[in-house]
A and B are shown apart, each in its own frame.
Chain A
């Protein structure tokens, strides 16, 4: 490598006014919130909710999550614009603005990517006590056939695959997928070496 990488450091406990200001009620701009797409985007509207849990199963109230995802056709947004109107593909939320430390993303269900990867969301996890951010993916419980053919899921030991599959619940407001992130323990979420 021509240049040595700058080391990672924790996001710390006080990121909210800098990175997720509007969500926490601070008067400062932020580049993204929990709204990945609006009602004008093509696709099935879904919601993803969950908690980040520490090694004792306690919900973490100072974590931040980012989502990056493809649209309903499996295409990632292009920096030069165009494509699916109303679809941003990117979200960022903290877990501290909700009394139960629950995060929530409103989006559309992504399509299969490259014709061989099952629909999924890319997730980055940050928090105090995390010196390096963690990468995971969210797959969907109602995509059993696509999940069975997904090369990334196939690379995960079978006993751990369940940690990265969000469970669908049907509500009057539409499908809600539950995805808890376990930092440690028997249900420790699979994190990728990215």
Chain B
């Protein structure tokens, strides 16, 4: 008997025919379970002092000479473990393209403008109820080379730790109603039953009058519930 944290019914495969980069990068051999009692029951300790208040507001932390362009939005949600417990004090790291679909990254060659007032990186720490909150600019779609006329739907990258290394998660948040979701191999690689968990929900309650639309994206990390299995994989 052993335990795994990740519920593989919720996650994409290592190699996906539609997402071409997986062909040479995804492991081909079965993952090996850790023997009982050998899992590392702790997780990274980092300096929360490093998290600046301004980094929850991506419309502020990249300014050089004015306001960033694009549609202001608020993105908020709860971080839970899979037993349903809110996770307080958790670091949430995000990064994203700007309103033109361009990343502030030397490797992004897409012919769309850099916004001198938008960096696209942010960090937040969840409160006592497990809630994080960012103010940002809605990221646009951008083309990529996976196949002919391939476009990534607008998305925000999220990185979270949770209480142990088994709860680590890197994912992407999408927007409701985006027609590119049906055509995106990275989103479609997720089992159909789990895809809607990556799509944020528009929320008029989070929306701030005359300021910004609000989206809710709750995140559930592995490792809170025991998931015993008998070498079935």
Contact surface of A with B, Cβ cutoff 8 Å:
1-19, 21, 24, 26, 28-32, 54-56, 58, 60, 62, 66, 68, 76-79, 88-90, 96, 114, 117, 122, 124, 126-135, 151-152, 154-156, 183-184, 188-194
Contacts and interface: CB of A to CB of B under 8 A. Distances in A.
Across the A-B interface, the 10 shortest Cβ-Cβ residue pairs: A18-B95, A129-B21, A2-B84, A129-B25, A193-B31, A55-B24, A31-B46, A90-B44, A131-B12, A9-B172
Contact of A7 (B11, B46, B94, B106): B11
B201 interface: no
B28 A17 contact: no
A152 B38 CA distance: 7
A13 B14 contact: no
B67 to A, nearest CB: 19
A100 to B, nearest CB: 17
B44 A19 contact: no
B22 interface: yes
A131 B189 contact: yes
B169 interface: yes
Nearest to A13: B107
Given A183-B26, A191-B27, A2 B168 contact: no
A31 B44 CA distance: 10
B34 A19 contact: no
Contacts of A13: 105, 107
Given A6-B221, A18-B120, A131-B26, 5 more contacts: A5-B6, A5-B221, A7-B171, A17-B120, A55-B23
A187 B123 CA distance: 37
Nearest to A152: B38
Interface string B1-23: 00011110011111010010111
A135 B169 CA distance: 12
Q: Which of A18, A31, A135 has the most C-beta atoms of chain B within 10 angstroms of its own C-beta?
A: A18
Contact of A1 (B37, B51, B82): B82
Contacts of B33: 155, 192-193
Contacts of B140: none
Q: Is the interface of B mostly helix, strand, loop or mixed?
A: loop
B222 interface: yes
B101 to A, nearest CB: 12
B104 interface: yes
B132 interface: no
A156 B35 CA distance: 10
B220 interface: yes
B55 interface: yes
A129 B26 contact: yes
Nearest to B43: A68
A2 B107 CA distance: 41
20 contacts: A1-B224, A2-B84, A3-B83, A4-B194, A4-B220, A5-B6, A5-B221, A6-B197, A7-B194, A13-B107, A16-B105, A29-B50, A32-B44, A55-B23, A89-B45, A124-B165, A129-B23, A131-B12, A131-B13, A156-B32
Contact of B225 (A2, A24, A26, A32): A2
Contact of A31 (B4, B91, B191): B91
Contacts of A68: 40, 42-44, 165
B186 A10 contact: yes
Given A15-B157, A29-B55, A131-B11, A6 B220 contact: yes
B31 A54 contact: no
A78 B81 CA distance: 20
A4 B191 CA distance: 13
A7 B190 contact: yes
